[in-house]
Structure 1
Amino acid sequence: MQPAITDQTMPAEDAAVAAGFEHFYETLRRLTPRGPLSLTAASTLRRLERSGPHRLCELYAPEGISQPAMTQLVTRLEKEGLAERTADPTDGRAVVVSITDAGREAVSHRRQVRAEALSALLQGLTPEQYEAVVAALPALERLSDLAAEQAS
């Protein structure tokens, strides 16, 4: 049950959850392998992997960057063989960006390295703590879905 919000203030529990997420986000960033992909590049490739090809104009806002910055990023990803641009089949004036096999491999490698590092950390939890993390996964997925819905 969600605590009542009074005087337009955030419940203390929500503030604690936000702080916990921030701390865990920092941990995940440290577990992410250093390499040629920036966080934005990796996120863009994951989006293309997960959701399929997108028009260039659909990619920049969810990543929190400008359209010119996304154009530069896609150009770099294309030069590195990680993404490709093709004409939009429904509108020849527009460009569609999709992930390549090399892009999928790069995303998979980052995911694998991070998963291995996280697995090592999970070994330090008690069985009860581990079960609590596993039990929270559906709620975390739903939060991610809600955030994606709000962004679109």
Structure 2
Amino acid sequence: MKQVHKSSLHSGDSLAHDADDCLYDPGVRSVMAEFTLGAETLDLEAASAVRAAHHSIERLRNRGAAGRGLSTGAMDLLIRLNATAGEPVSIGDLARAGGVSSRNVTGLVDTLEREGLVERVGDPHDRRAVLTRITMAGRNWLDTYRQPTQRAMAAVFRGFTPAELTLLRHLSLRLVENQQRIERHLEQQDS
């Protein structure tokens, strides 16, 4: 059985610099070269790097929430509810804003409600509808989470210039835009 190469991003080994002085992961490059049978690997290496960066950021975010017992999804939902200045929001609106399903948001609201961080309230315009809003305990939770999160993000992006952060944001959102375009195309094919 062949040896499985671990990505140096996950095994703690160091990264390398290519001829243009850009970072790359030799383990990922090797595995991808074998996977592609020697064809170009740059897009696959980039996808792996994006995934590794995502995992790194999530590990730091989760560390900032350590002992607070909330998932990343629940934290994101709480942050979104806080941004509404106490105005209640529908599950559907929260789902669309977060790019997730209403079912997913309902589960997150259930968790946050059990913790006393959000509450469900009736919709004054539609007796059948239920809205969600952040509680004072939810705002207090965010207050204790804010500084560790800001410190963690400042540390992970240390050395990045504002122009680099803007470019990183732009390129990441181009990936999202491409994925959404692909999804729309596939949905059109299916119908």
**TM bin (shorter chain):** 0.5 to 0.7
Q: CA RMSD in A?
A: 3.6
Higher alpha-carbon deviation: 91-100 or 76-85: 76-85
Question: Does 2:132 match 1:97?
Answer: yes
Q: Distance in 1 between matches of 2:42 and 2:144?
A: 36
Give 2:80's match in structure 1, choosing from 47, 50, 66: 47
Unaligned runs of 5+ in 1: 1-10
Q: Which has the higher contact order (CA 8 A, sep 6+)?
A: 1
Q: Map 1:1-150; keep pairs closer than 5 Å.
A: 15-32=44-61, 33=64, 34=66, 35-51=68-84, 53-60=88-95, 62=98, 64=100, 67=103, 70-123=105-158, 125=159, 130-131=160-161, 132-136=163-167, 139=170
Higher alpha-carbon deviation: 89-98 or 109-118: 109-118
1:24 maps to amino acid: A
Q: Distance in 2 between matches of 1:134 and 1:88?
A: 40
Higher alpha-carbon deviation: 53-62 or 86-95: 53-62
Scaled by the length of structure 1, the TM-score of the pair is 0.63
Retained in 2: the 8 A contact 1:85–1:96?
Answer: yes
1:116: how far off? Answer: 0.8
Number of positions where the alignment pairs a residue of Structure 1 with one of Structure 2: 134
SS at match of 1:71: helix
**1:93-131 deviation per Cα after TM superposition (whole angstroms, max 9, x unaligned):** 1101011232233234334212212323444x3xxxx22
Percent identity, please: 31
- Alpha carbons of structure 1 residues 109 and 15: separation in structure 2 relative to 1, 3 Å: farther
Higher alpha-carbon deviation: 103-112 or 80-89: 103-112
Retained in 2: the 8 A contact 1:45–1:99?
Answer: yes
